[in-house]
Amino acid sequence: MIEIKEIKTKKDIRAFAKYPIELYKDCPYYVPNLRSDEIDTFNPKKNFNLKENVIKGFLAYKDGKLVGRIAAFVNKKENELSGKKYIRFSRFECIDDIEVFKALLGAVEQFGAECGMEIMHGPWGFNDTDREGMLTYGFDKRSTYSTNYYYPYFCERMAELGFEDESKWLEYRFGIPDTPYDRVTRLVDKLKKKLDVVDVAETMSVRQILKNYGGKFFDTLNDAYAHLDGYIPIEGKARDTVLSQFATIVNTRYVSFLVDKKGDVAAFGIVLPSIADALIKHRGKLFPFGFIDVLKSIKKPKELEMALIGVKSEYKNTGINSIVISRIMKNVIDDGITSIESNPMLESNLNIQQQWKFAQTEVVKRRRTYQKRIEK
């Protein structure tokens, strides 16, 4: 018998946060999320996305044993922009049992119907910096810090239950150039002068950049990503949630923030040190000892994960992205980085894929979201 329990207590939240660790305990490709971030999902004092979103979390039990979890929320901004009545599901993990799938997704459907929604879709996050998409290819590759792993049975069960394909992403592994970047650097220095931009990442700490340009960064991010599937502008207090998650794992050697003469962020690139090994070793916990290995991974990384790159509309087709890429890649080569993997890029986002056309790339993973109409 399957029992669905809505999250109500701190004990429920801890069970929700720890469940993926148990599900994937024997999987070498799974990378845990930070346990603290998972716990804070339902804490309005830490997750400012909750201010605008109605959310519920559910746990599935079979014969008294925890066998799955799912979160569901209505994003008012998404529905306002799309003109549709969506409910999103997220943080979806469970055993390979079609009845458990039905029960968890059924809880989302019921919640959506109660809220007057017409379509359920996911896995989506609160915004584009959250984990989203279900793995459909690359099951034998380790996840990145910013993405979820899924066993192959997940996408098979979604199809069995009548869910339709929605948005699709690609993830790349990049070849590292083995030649000096000096000539490229000289060319982009000329372009910097022509466009009259300064890379503040060369002289400022992460804290200084966020203090002085955090708001302008989100303005450019929202401008650059507005046209993408499912993108929700990051506004208000929700920005604090994103900054707190990113700021802890940024190394400015792999960041570029180009500021123009007006003081706006003209373009940016953020490539993160991979902390995957540290998270696996400590099962997603920073304390008491996990933070030491995480700090080592940030300070002297061997692998990187490409997080975000964006260009403000007025600077498109100026070549400004080459300045961003040049600074980061020069430091990658100088520091002896052995591997760079992208986080998901929408198949339909040809612009961002073109920005990396100069590099040797290999598609290592694919993922997608699913949707289904809610039965009244």
Quick one: pLDDT at residue 331?
92
Distance CA 352, CA 311 (A): 10
Which has the minimum average pLDDT: 147-151, 195-199, 241-245, 258-262? 241-245
Give the Å distances, CA to CA, from 17 to 22, 68, 141, 334: 10, 11, 23, 38
**Beta strands 86-94 and 119-122: pairing type?**
parallel
Domains of the chain: 2-171+369-373 (3.40.630.30), 182-365 (3.40.630.30)
Length of the chain: 376
Q: Which residue has the higher pLDDT, 61 or 325?
A: 61
Q: Which residue has the higher pLDDT, 283 or 358?
A: 283
Distance CA 93, CA 96 (A): 10
Among residues 314, 206, 193, 225, the alpha carbon closest in space to that of 270 is found at 206
Give the Å distances, CA to CA, from 81 to 85, 166, 190, 233: 10, 17, 40, 10
Share of the chain above pLDDT 90, in %: 67
Quick one: pLDDT at residue 180?
61
Under a CB-based contact definition with an 8 Å cutoff, are residues 191 and 347 in contact?
A: no
Quick one: pLDDT at residue 359?
65
Predicted TM-score (pTM) of the model is 0.90
Quick one: pLDDT at residue 357?
61
pLDDT tens-place string over residues 129-148? 889 999 999 999 999 988 99
Q: Which residues contact 149 (CB under 8 A, 6 or more apart)?
A: 24, 27, 29, 30, 31, 135, 143
State yes or no: pLDDT of 247 exceeds 90.
no
Quick one: pLDDT at residue 143?
95
State yes or no: pLDDT of 350 exceeds 80.
no
Mapped to the 3 state alphabet, what secondary structure does 252-263 carry? HHHEEEEEECCC
